Amino acid sequence: MRAARFSSFGAPDVLEIVDVPDPHPAPGEIRIAVKAAGVNASDWKKRQGLMDPQLPQTLGYEAAGIVDELGPGVDDVVLGDRVFGFCTDGAAQAELAVLSVYAPIPSTLGFADVAALPASVETAARALDQLGLGAGDTVLINGASGNVGGAAVQLAVARGGRVIGSAGASSQEYVRPLGAEPVVYGEGLGRRVRELAPDGVDFALDVAGNGILPELIELAGGPDRVITLADFAGAQEHGVRFSRGDTGRAMYVLGELPGLIESGAFTLPQVTTFPLADIAEAHRAGEQGRVRGKLVLVVD
């Protein structure tokens, strides 16, 4: 099968489409004929040599496609089903991929619509779980207009929470339809938040990583009520928890997502697609911030 891979670290030009052996599912896993695969910031960080040291490397942790092989013990899908999910092998940007966690694609949606949802939605759900957000709680989400931030807003609202979402001035009307009360981030954020919540907030989630943890701690009432997804150094300095996948993942949310989408409780992000062969251009678009929403590779 064809798959995206790089054999040296560097610019997008190191990416290539090569022939590799077909993968096969282990017990509890499925294989799909990939129709679309998500591209994330972690992909170009890997390509730049900022994450895993080994070479060569394949790419992709999320994909959507048609089930074409079942691992032992799998009885919740059949061959031909349309599904999306996680490829824990990091090899989803290929013609075939093994999924360890998966869910059905709603009949009204295409493959590209859902291929890039798993990572951002799992990250958002994990952070909300770690905060302990429940019905009636107020949470400030710093960076509410991004992919993870937008997912966090909607999942928090679905749990019965009140959400105040900080974003840039040009993104205020993007955040509002997701269910958040928008505020402009930057100097004076604390004052603007207290105009909406005079007693502060119950929790704060930092998705943007823009050095605002002290203000979030003050608004939430302590570092134990704040989680960051993007400011590792700040978390260490201020005693805030840095959420990472190796402390437990919220894979269950993938099973909840189709119902949330079909009920209208979760709005899909904008998707920009590239053919698999144009993966280098997809990386350039992502790194340069030329697109809003999710980047997806389409596999013919």
Task: Work out the angle between the directed axes of helices 189-196 and 213-220 (0-180°, nearest 10).
Answer: 30
Distance CA 61, CA 29 (A): 14
- Evaluate whether 59 touches 90 at the Cβ level (below 8 Å): yes
Beta-sheet pairing, 294-298 with 271-275: parallel
pLDDT attached to residue 210: 86
**Whole-number pLDDT of residue 153:** 97
Beta-carbon contacts of residue 263 (< 8 Å; ≥ 6 apart): none
The Cα–Cα gap between 60 and 40 comes to 8
Q: What separation in angstroms does the CA of 132 have from each of 95, 148, 193, 202, 224?
A: 39, 18, 21, 10, 11
Q: What is the mean pLDDT of each run of 10 residues along the chain (300 residues)?
A: 97 97 97 97 91 93 97 97 95 98 94 94 96 97 93 97 94 92 92 96 95 95 96 95 83 94 92 96 90 90
What are the sequence ranges of the domains in the chain?
2-117+268-298, 120-247
User: What's the distance, CA 252 to chain centroid?
Assistant: 14
**Cα separation, 60 vs 85, whole angstroms:** 11
Question: Is-contact 201 139, C-beta < 8 A?
Answer: yes
Structurally, at CATH architecture level, domain 2-117+268-298 sits in Alpha-Beta Complex (3.90)
Task: Identify the pLDDT of residue 5.
Answer: 97
Phi and psi at residue 195, to the nearest 5°: -65, -30
> What pLDDT score was predicted for residue 293?
84
DSSP string, 220-283: HTSGGGEEESS-HHHHHHHTPEEP-GGG---TTHHHHHHHHHHHTSSPPPPEEEEEGGGHHHHH
Q: Is the pTM of this model over 0.95?
A: no
Burial of 264 (0-12, 13-18, 19+ CB in 10 A): exposed
Please report the pLDDT score of residue 52 as a whole number: 87
- Helix intervals (H) in the chain: 41-47, 111-115, 118-131, 147-158, 172-175, 189-196, 213-220, 232-238, 253-263, 279-287
Neighbouring C-beta atoms of residue 230, cutoff 10 Å: 17
Q: Decide: helix, strand or coil at residue 288.
A: coil
Q: What is the CATH number of domain 120-247?
A: 3.40.50.720
Single-letter amino acid, residue 39:
V
Written as one letter, the residue type at 111 is: F
Token code pair at residue 242? 């840095």
Residues 37, 58: Cα–Cα separation, whole Å: 13
